[in-house]
Structures are given as C-alpha cells and as structure tokens.
A and B are shown apart, each in its own frame.
Chain A
Amino acid sequence: MVLGVSFVDQLSTALVIGVITGGVYALVALGLVLVYKASGVFNFAQAEFGTVAVYAAYAALEFAGLPYGIALLVGVSAGVAMGLATERLIIRPLFDAPRVTLLVATAGVALLVIGVQFWRANDPALRVLAPISNELERVRVFGISVSDQRIVILLVLAATAAGLALFFRSPGGLAVLAASQEPTAAELVGVSVRRVSSLTWGVAALLGSLAGLLSAPISNFSPGFLTAGASGALIPGFTGAVIGGMTSMPGAVVGGLLVGIVESLGGLNALEGIPGARSLLVFASLLVVLLVRPQGLLGRAAA
C-alpha cells in the first residue's frame, strides 16, 4: 500500500482484499464444520484434500494433456477419493477411539500426504495451475481489481454454504446429526452410520478439493501449500470455523470471511512497524470472540 493513502481508503481496500482471501478460508471452514458436526473430529487433513486435488488436476492438464474442465474433474475425484479412503482406513477403524486420537490421526494423514508430495513432486517446487479464466479485472471494487477466479470462489462459496445449510434443515441432515449423537440409536431407526460417515467425509473432501482447485491458480503452488505457508488456509479456516461456532454453516462463512478481513487489516500502514501484525490481529480477535461469546458468533450455547 502506498504511503499517504487516506485511512478510509486503506480500510476499504483491506475489506475487499479480506473478503476475497477469506473466501478460501470460508470454504475450508465449511468442510471442517461438516466433519465436526458429523463425527466430532477436528480434521487436520481438510486442506490436504485440496492439495491432492490440485496435484492431480495439474498432472491431468500438463502431463496427460486433458482439457481444463476434465482436469478439474480429475482433481475433484482425486480429492474425494482421498477423503473416502481416509474415512474407510483411518476414521472408521477408530470409530470408538477418543476424538483426540482421531485428531492426531488426521494430522498424521496430512503430514503423510505432504511428505509424498515433497518426495514425488518437489522438482520444481513451485508450479502454476492455470486459472478458470485469464480475466484479472472483471470488476473494480474500491480501486481493487477483482479477477474472475476470485469471483468464482465467492460464488462457489455462496452456493456450497447455502446447499449445506439447506441440507442440515432436511431429513438427511437430521440423520447425520442423529448418527453423530447416538450411533446405536441411529442404526436402530434405520440410519446406516457407515453410509453417513462416508457421505460426510466425501462431501468434506469435495469442499476441500474446490478450495484447492480454485485458490491454487491465484499464485503458485507447492507441496502442502493449502495446509501451511503463505497461502495456507487450514489454520485461518479453523479460526474462522471456531469464530463462527464450529457447528454452523453460515457461521463458517462469516468466520472465514472475518479472518480474511482481520488479516488484511494487519497490513494497514498504521501497523507497519509491527512484525507479524496479521496473525497477531487474527488470534487476538479469535480470543476476543471466544471470551465474549464462547459458543462462537453463530453457534448455539449448548450445542
């Protein structure tokens, strides 16, 4: 940001940048909230569903020469396959284990997958996935150009959040909640707990894949890029999910966008002298939200 730009201008710029970076966080947060609602697990592998999807799409595009749309489909399939495999091989056998064991297990999955990426795909370390369209300035908002890619992210976010919110108001959503609260009773009324589990991990992996495939083209990508590092979305996504209440789909969206905005406020000139101002602001606001509303912005007090 150029020095001398008025504070209000800086604020509005930060707001726009915040919303467009927060869109990816919100997508990650949606997947985290879904898995948490369905199985009470903090899923550290959520962002890796996205990274795997990106590498698969990249390979389909660059090495197999498939058309862009097909390559995206290949990516989504790879991400969803990883989600289903994680559920089948890790989550289901540990069904009765304490939730903290599962948390560690998902972290293990993430580290394993990142390890494989470093092993198989670190040369070159930085790669570029083509964007959906090359239009970098579809609109200008407060002087910030917003690319097609960014707009697609926000549209996909809106559509998936609305879909999930509707789903949890439907009988199917009720069955997911029932399976997580009382699996035995859920079986007894005819809800297959296994099927519910596969379904939720599959959909969560789909959300992760979308987050990866849509955000990778914004800069370059490298092993584990969506989990950690400059374009990491896992920790901001978690923060957003918790701010939003951990069980609320709209909460995940609001929380994710909020984290994006707060983070970009850390770039204000007034904070120039403070190293790490962005994370400082994000975690300070997380703590404030948790102190004032422990159940999160849109979470229910006893849920």
Chain B
Amino acid sequence: MALLEVRDLVVGYGPHPVLHGVSLDIEAGETCVLFGLNGAGKTTTVSAIAGLLAPSSGTITFDGQPIAGRPAAALVASGISLSPEGRRVFARLTVEQNLQLGGWVRRKDAAVARTQRQLVFDYFPRLAERGDQVAGTLSGGEQQMLAIGRALMSQPRLLLVDEASLGLSPTVARTVFEVMDRINDDGTTVLIVEQNAGVLPYADRVLIMEKGTLVFTGVGDEIRDADLRSTYLGA
C-alpha cells in the first residue's frame, strides 16, 4: 500500500471541476515531481491533499486512513505538510517565530521543536543567521527556504512543496533541490510541484498533469516522448 493514494479525485472552485478524476500513488520514501503547464491543476491537487480544498468526489488515503475533506489544521498533525504556492511566510513575524509556528501541532513537545529547528538550520544555514529578521524582508530565495523550513517543523511524513523554484536563480534553485533531496534521504516522502526540468535528477518518479488529468506517470528517463519533453520540461 502506498503512503498516499488518490483515487478519482474531482475538485473545483464553484460548480465547474478543475480536476477531472485524478488518481495517483506516492510510495513511502520516494521523491515525486508533479509537472504541468500553468493552470493544469497542480496547486489544486496539492491543496486538496493538504486539506485546503474539499473534493467533490473521489478518495484520498494517507497511511491507510481516508482523509478527503478533513481540514488542513487536522492533517498537519497526522503528518502532511504543505509549503504553499507563493510561500506565504508570516511577513511581519521573525524567522524564528515563523519556525515556531511551523511546529504549532508539536508545541507540547519541546524536544521535537528543538530537533526540527536544528534540522532546518542544518538544511538552510542562511536561516540560522537570520533568526531575528522579519520574514517580509528576506530575499525570495530565503523566503522559499523559510517556507520549506516552516513546513518541516511539524515533522511531516509527507512534505508537499508547491513551486519550489519559482522566481529563484538557477544556483538557489539547485540549492533548494539539493536540500529537498537530503530531506528525502533523511526519511521524509516528498512531492514537489515544479515547472523546472532541473529537478529531474532528484526525482524518483514524475507525474505530468494536463487540464486536470494526469497524462504521464513514470520515472524521469522514461519521458522519451519528444512532445512531452518539449511541452512540459522545456528540454
């Protein structure tokens, strides 16, 4: 049984569905990358998995438990954490406070908070140097690091990162991908939403989405189809 199983997921905003029956599996321990053009429905997919959107039909099973429709605030306690599109750091709070809030569901356990904080600083030393800085004044790359770091503070089993590299320089994007790889090596299952082919070397599996349905699932090397490559990966 996969860690996350999505079956026939239909999700929309208002009456018209945006996802038309999406099914996907994410195995424990892997790094999955979800590709797709603008408007394909990637954010809608991860938002539904994280509990921000309630599906109109279909099932989502996490670790054997049905979770479709449960609110985000409950799912983060069960081990699903999303670093959202647009980063959404708490702009007027400090880096430290952002991380502290990331650990909200584990706040009763000081030891977890300490270990996770240490781990985050280990992955992103830049954040450690900027603990007292107000998050809104961080650079785009630093805000992305903070958003991922905040999502890690709840000690998730499944980490979802939407638009990991959007707006980042190639060097910073690579740093982020390398850290995502380390996070995965350290035992967290990862789903990255991306438009940047630079993430491919780190992916165990690639999903490609088009107009609300999955059109390809497989390992990165399998994307031989020249059309798929040029359309979705720009390569």
Contacts and interface: CB of A to CB of B under 8 A. Distances in A.
B195 to A, nearest CB: 21
Interface in B187-223: none
B88 A190 contact: no
A185 interface: yes
B88 A191 contact: no
Interface stretch (A15-23, A44-52, A130-138, A169-177): A169-177
Contacts of B73: 187-188, 190-192
A190 B92 contact: no
Interface residues of B, number: 31
A189 interface: yes
Contacts of A174: 93, 97, 100-101
Given A171-B100, A174-B100, A175-B101, A188 B92 contact: no
Interface string B141-153: 0000000001101
A283 B162 CA distance: 49
A297 to B, nearest CB: 19
B82 interface: yes
Given A185-B84, A188-B76, A189-B76, A177 B92 contact: yes
Given A189-B154, A190-B105, A178 B77 contact: no
B36 interface: no
Tell which of A175, A182, A189 has the most Cβ of chain B within 10 Å.
A189
B88 A184 contact: yes
Contact of B104 (A175, A177, A182, A303): A175
Contact of B50 (A188, A191, A303): A188
Interface in B66-97: 71-74, 76-77, 81-82, 84, 88-93, 97
Given A171-B100, A189-B102, A178 B76 contact: no
Given A175-B101, A188-B81, A181 B91 contact: yes
A184 B101 contact: no
B104 A190 contact: yes
A177 B90 contact: yes
Contacts of B88: 182, 184-185, 188
8 contacts: A174-B101, A175-B101, A185-B150, A186-B90, A187-B51, A188-B73, A188-B82, A190-B104
Given A188-B73, A191-B104, 17 more contacts: A171-B107, A174-B93, A174-B97, A175-B101, A178-B101, A181-B90, A181-B91, A182-B89, A184-B84, A188-B151, A189-B102, A189-B103, A189-B104, A189-B105, A190-B72, A190-B104, A190-B105
